[in-house]
């Protein structure tokens, strides 16, 4: 890896942290401020494209943009649509105490709690089950 690669990785980590603040924001106005910041700091050039076998879709980043700029703009625009649709309550942080991942709750009843049900959700559900079993065994043997 050369110095440019390390700079690219550092830029990606910085964009990731900026996205994380969006999901931690308390209301739509706070989310909008963060989203506007994400898209304002990257070169934006919306254009229609149909590449690599994909149908027509919109790219918001400028051609030749750095990967971090690409992610900031495309992700920022996706979040802008969430805000515009009045769905900021779907932007969540995983409820697992040892996880800092984020998610967009697309469930019909808005009940998704974990970034991934197979990892965080399953781990916590198994731990709760085992704790209940320990409680039943110790209560039953007394």
pLDDT (tens digit per residue) in 51-73: 999 999 998 888 888 899 989 99
Query: Mean pLDDT across the stretch 5-31?
Result: 89
Asked whether residue 56 is assigned to any structural domain, the reply reads yes
Residue 77 located in a structural domain:
yes
**CA dihedral sign of residues 65, 69, 71, 73:** negative
CA 18 to chain centre: 10
Average pLDDT over residues 14-27: 89
Question: Which of the two residues, 102 and 7, has the higher pLDDT score?
Answer: 102
DSSP-derived secondary structure for 51-106: -TT--SEEEEEPTT--HHHHHHHHHHHHHHHHHHTT-GGGEEE--STT---EEE--
Residue 117 lies in a domain: no
Residue 55, in any domain of the structure: yes
The CATH number of the domain holding residue 80 is 1.10.3300.10
Task: Give dist(CA 88, CA 44) in Å, integer.
Answer: 23
pLDDT at site 139: 56
Instruction: State how many domains the chain has.
Output: 1
- Token digits of residue 102: 């984020």
118 in a structural domain? no
Residue 122 domain-assigned (yes or no)? no
Q: Average per-residue pLDDT in the chain? A: 87
Kind and range of the H or E element at 57? strand 57-61
Residue 136, domain member (yes or no): no
| 99: in domain | no
Domain that holds residue 77: 3-93
CA distance 45 to 65: 10
């Amino acid at each position: 890896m050369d110095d440019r690669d390390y700079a690219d990785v550092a830029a990606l980590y910085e964009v990731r942290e900026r996205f994380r603040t969006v999901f931690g924001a308390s209301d739509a106005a706070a989310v909008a401020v963060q989203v506007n910041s994400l898209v304002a700091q990257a070169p934006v050039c919306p254009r229609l494209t149909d590449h690599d076998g994909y149908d027509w879709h919109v790219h918001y980043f400028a051609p030749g943009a750095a990967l971090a700029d690409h992610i900031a703009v495309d992700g920022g625009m996706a979040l802008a649509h969430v805000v515009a649709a009045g769905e900021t309550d779907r932007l969540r942080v995983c409820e697992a105490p040892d996880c800092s991942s984020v998610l967009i709750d697309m469930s019909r009843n808005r009940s998704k709690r974990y970034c991934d049900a197979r990892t965080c959700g399953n781990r916590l559900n198994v731990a709760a089950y085992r704790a209940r079993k320990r409680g039943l065994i110790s209560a039953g043997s007394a």
